[in-house]
Amino acid sequence: MSTWLFDLGNSRLKFAAPGDGSVGGIHHVDHDGSRFADGWEQQLPPRFDTAWIASVGAPGLTTALVDGLCSRCRRVSFVRTQRSFGGVRIAYADPARLGVDRFLALLAAHARASGPSLVVGVGTALTIDLLDADGVHRGGRIAPSPTLMRDSLHARAPQLPARGGSYAAFADETASALASGCEGAALALIAQSMQAATAMLGTTPRVLLHGGGAPALLPASGDAIIAPALVLEGLALWARALDPADGHRTHG
């Protein structure tokens, strides 16, 4: 039975077919919040069995994704955040309030290795979630990502470029000053979260960086580990835990 995994975020769609314990061959499709680029479905096989979707995108865009899949696959299923799944227990009193992308990233982080993790997603938003060694989610933080900061500044002050520049302690031109300020704000929040996490747990967690903006932060993030497919890894774990034939769910 062939399966494809779909991670629909606020700025792009990522999808892949899961392999043996890994996710490879990831496809990326940008969107404007209402529609995908023409012909994106051509990256999929003509027919497959199951599509698993994790979506934080707008309802209309999610519907467009489903419409594009229905002619190709037999079954479309959505992932929802659970209070407890795959050895992870969510901190939120109402688990449905935790974005499914954050939930799946926590599943993948817990499955990767023992020990606590600070899971940092860098997309439209900057999300930071703390997971202890027992799989207990200790909560998280949400802030604007560097990209969103720059877009917001550019919208209010068009003379400030939305892109370009390089990170520096003290930049000598405007584009780099913007890159340094916005990326520096994200790095400072991650560093402060690391300090708080270490004080809370009595040990220093590893940092896992994922999302489209993660590579830009990696050079100044110390020993952080880049994990670009973390949400899809969690989605693969979800798909393996549920038998599509009978819908039985395996909890851990």
Active site residue 101: yes
Q: Which residue in the list 7, 30, 101, 223 is annotated as catalytic?
A: 101
E-strand spans in the chain?
3-8, 12-18, 23-30, 48-55, 73-78, 84-85, 88-89, 117-122, 125-131, 137-144, 206-210, 225-226
* Residue burial 175-191, b: 16+ Cβ < 10 Å; e: rest: bbebbbbbbbbbbeebe
Tokens coding 191: 């560093």
d(CA 101, CA 123): 11
Note every long-range contact of 12-16, with CB atoms under 8 Å and residues 24 or more positions apart, other chains counting. Answer: 12/212, 13/40, 13/57, 13/65, 14/229, 14/231, 14/232, 15/43, 15/44, 15/232, 16/229, 16/232
Contact (CB, 8 A) for 127 and 138: no
Beta bridge partners of 54: 7
The number of CA neighbours under 13 Å toward the Cβ of 27 is 16
- The amino acid present at 9, given as its one-letter code, is G
- The amino acid present at 21, given as its one-letter code, is G
Beta bridge partners of 52: 5, 77
Active site residues: 101
